[in-house]
Structure 1
Amino acid sequence: MMASAPHGGPRAPRIDGERLWRRHLELARHGALSAGGVDRPAFSAIDAQARRQLVDWGRAIGLVPSMDAIGNLFLRRTGRRPELPAVATGSHLDTQPTGGKFDGAYGVLAGLEALASLHEAGLQTERDLLLVVWANEEGSHFAPTTMGSAVFSGQLPLAEALAAQAPDGGRLEDALPAFLAAHPEVPRQDTAPPLHAFLEAHIEQGPVLEAAGLPLGIVTGIQGLRWLEVDVRGQEAHAGTTPGSVRRDALRQAVQMARALFAHFDALGDSVRFTLGRWRVEPGSPNTVPGRVRFTIDLRHPREAALADGEEAIRQLCETHAGPCTVAVERLSGSAPIVFPEGIRDLLDQCADLWAFPRMALVSGATHDAKLLHGVTTTGMLFVPCEKGISHNQLENATPEHLAAGTQVLAEALLRLADA
């Protein structure tokens, strides 16, 4: 990694941890839920409200906003040599339907606070610094996940993203124009800005750091991911008149598949992550034998070969337990495991050492936008603990001290990368 090797003392100014915490609470008002969480769907009016708040904060420190065709938002701090590729940081602001205050939002607000500290100290970097809000990271309404960063990196064609369909049948190409129009003072950016590096700060979304009593994790890589949908088709029938021996009950067979799948992956241990997510039962009548069931599978592992073996096992087990029904398994999306460059990991580790923060190395179990950027620039990630490892949940929580620690290291690393 071509960055100035940390020596002597820290170069970054001290960030304002109280302001960082206050902004998390203020941003969480956009989509606030009664139990303390946040519901801020991607491309919604609430998502646009949160972004306008961020734009206002950014403009107060001289950041210039722009937005691309899929809704990725960029806030630029000009350096001495704007012709050079920029150093970027950020994450996402969209949430799960019952999400928390910190997933995604922390990476955005940590980047904002890092840039605010440089502004207040009067420090200008050689390269531009870019704060990015990636659109639709969660993929909970319009799949796939990490949509904005996938379009930016060229891994998902824009036309394919616009064809995405929500569970209610709505299409993204119909919803996106109103979302873009909700940012009237943000100019469009037609070409992707070249990047020298991208760093993403995030809550861990797992229990490892908290269990170790450490405030910081240097992420070594991200697990591979495959999303599959299993489509079981039988025959609808009257619940009171059709004997069990002649039924083609799609739900009965889907449940048998689920039991077999859980048994298979449980036997492999904790290195594999297997989840059955969305279930759709048709026709959904209490006195009709289900004729069709569709359910999704989220499969993750740090090794690509294990993912391939897992997908093949899913297909075989579903066929074995289809009974009188038919079954089809479709891969909805997927991404290979990645390892972050050693140079960027070393830089983050050394910056943490400069500020005397204990840390550990760990693999990310969740997919993040940094994974999609990995193919187009040098990438790296920092984790801070979250309480009990809970995320995608209204109980998601983090401490002001841990958020500030990660932000301080992020600011140090951004400054050194931007002067490289």
Structure 2
Amino acid sequence: MAPAQPEGLPGPLDGRLPASAAEGSAERTLSLYVHVPFCAVRCGYCDFNTYTATELGAGVSQDAYAADAAAEVRWARRVLEASGVAVRPLHSVFLGGGTPTLLPAEDLAAVLHAARDTFGLAEGAEVTTEANPDSVSPRSLRVLAEAGVTRVSFGMQSAAPHVLAVLDRTHDPDNVPRAVAWAREAGLGVSVDLIYGTPGESLADWEHSLRTAVGYAPDHVSAYSLIVEDGTRLAARMRRGEVPPIDDDDQADKYELADRVLGDAGFEWYEVSNWSRPAGGADARAHRSRHNLAYWHNQDWWGIGPGAHSHVGGTRWWNLKHPVPYTNRVRAGHSPAAGREVLDAGTRHLERVMLEARIRDGLPVAALDDDGRAAVAGLIADGMVEPAQALHGTVVLTLRGRLLGDAVVRRLLA
């Protein structure tokens, strides 16, 4: 089941943005997210907006998706120009899903060519695709690299077969090191995604997954706690008592283990769920995901595809979820947005605190109101904020603070 969309006001069919979206736009970066909503099978824990081939309606096919996505890319530029928003070369592009690499590499390349031809790429732009380790080959990765992809993020999730079985992951764990090697041969950076806290996963299982991932020598590791969403098969199994519920203490233990194992292997945390390996010297931050950092710094991004979300200058909107109405709108030259909202000053402040408190670069103390600034001393005393950074004007979470991040944010906003 795809997640419910937020409530919002209908957007205009021409997609034009309010004047507030243009204010200061030349000083912000612009990124592109392309949602590829197709999967061979649906994993039991996943509530993303994805569809298998049998779930697609008449008039929509995977074969035509690249052309429709490229059409929305070109339409996006027209909307920005008509709205007076600065059209900038793309800071980053992210092909997500779903399983983007379920499409032929040439189709993904076509979407990237449309993005480059329409907006251009900023110098050193990061271009990422997610990938199932079973859905790539040496040739497909070479095609993607030639099209401008700079890094690939492999969904490894776990090295323990019984954990993958609970998650309904179907990829062959032995394909992960092969896929990583092929990506390296193509000249691509590599990230691996892991999930911890799956029912039946022991601390030893999790340590094995971490050390296995480190052994592949990626540039970047994402480690996410399992969240069981309503409407998923895993949630139904949990309600029936077939698998035990999530244990918060177990997840905290596994987060601490991840930080220790990855730290010992030379990775630095730069966001609560993300670690990167410094390249050394001036490139110490080179392997951090610039696309994700654009989200956490509330920069501008346009989301392409069914259900994709966008944000430009405090205006946020989300596309129709199902590929059929999305495709019909795009082909008619109309906005595929299902709804949108214009954030007020209070909401924008709240979101800035929530997002920037998560990252190692931290949240400027000056960005807080008087009550928020007064709360910082107590957070230092409670061991949740680094004292030295706070004295220099930035709120940076300690390990304890990362584990209790929601509580930190509540106190900063109180």
* Shorter-chain TM-score tier: under 0.3
> Structure 1-normalised TM-score?
0.24
- TM norm structure 2: 0.24
Q: Which has the higher helix share?
A: 2
* Structure with higher RCO (Cα < 8 A, 6+ apart): 1
Q: Which has the larger radius of gyration?
A: 1
